[in-house]
Homo-oligomer: A and B are copies of this chain.
Amino acid sequence: MSKKILIVEDEQDILQLITFHLQAEGFATLTALNGIKGLELAKEQIPDMILLDLMLPGMDGLEVCKTLKRDPKTENIPVVMLTAKGEEIDRIVGFELGADDYITKPFSPRELILRLRAILRRYETEKPTPSKISFGDLQIDLDSYRVWIDKEQIYLTITEFNLLLELLENKGRVRSRNQLLDRVWGYQFDGYARTVDTHVRRLRQKIGPYADAIETVRGVGYRFKDSE
Query: Quick check: is A89 within 8 A (CB to CB) of the other chain?
Result: no
Q: Which residues on the B side are within 8 Å of A174 (C-beta)?
A: 143-145
Q: Which residues on the B side are within 8 Å of A190 (C-beta)?
A: 114
Distance of A79 from chain B, by nearest CB (Å):
13
B16–A124 CB distance below 8 A: no
B121–A178 CB distance below 8 A: yes
Distance of A17 from chain B, by nearest CB (Å):
8
From B12, B122, B144, contact of A173 by CB (8 A): B144
Q: Which residues on the B side are within 8 Å of A181 (C-beta)?
A: 121
CA of A187 to CA of B174, assembled, Å: 24
Q: Which residues on the B side are within 8 Å of A158 (C-beta)?
A: 217-220
CA of A13 to CA of B81, assembled, Å: 13
Copies in the complex: 2
A24–B125 CB distance below 8 A: yes
Query: Quick check: is A36 within 8 A (CB to CB) of the other chain?
Result: no
A145–B114 CB distance below 8 A: no
Q: Which residues on the B side are within 8 Å of A24 (C-beta)?
A: 125-126
CA of A92 to CA of B122, assembled, Å: 34
CA of A124 to CA of B24, assembled, Å: 12
A144–B172 CB distance below 8 A: yes
| In the complex with contacts A118-B182, A190-B114, A124-B176 CB distance below 8 A | yes
Q: Which residues on the B side are within 8 Å of A172 (C-beta)?
A: 141, 143-144
CA of A87 to CA of B100, assembled, Å: 30
CA of A187 to CA of B102, assembled, Å: 16
Q: Which residues on the B side are within 8 Å of A124 (C-beta)?
A: 176, 178-179
Distance of A183 from chain B, by nearest CB (Å):
8
Minimum-distance CB pairs A-B, first 3: A158-B219, A143-B173, A121-B182
Show 21 A/B contacts (Cβ-Cβ < 8 Å), sorted by A: A12-B102, A16-B100, A16-B101, A17-B122, A20-B122, A20-B126, A24-B125, A24-B126, A33-B92, A117-B178, A121-B179, A121-B181, A125-B182, A141-B172, A143-B172, A143-B173, A144-B173, A144-B174, A145-B223, A157-B219, A158-B219
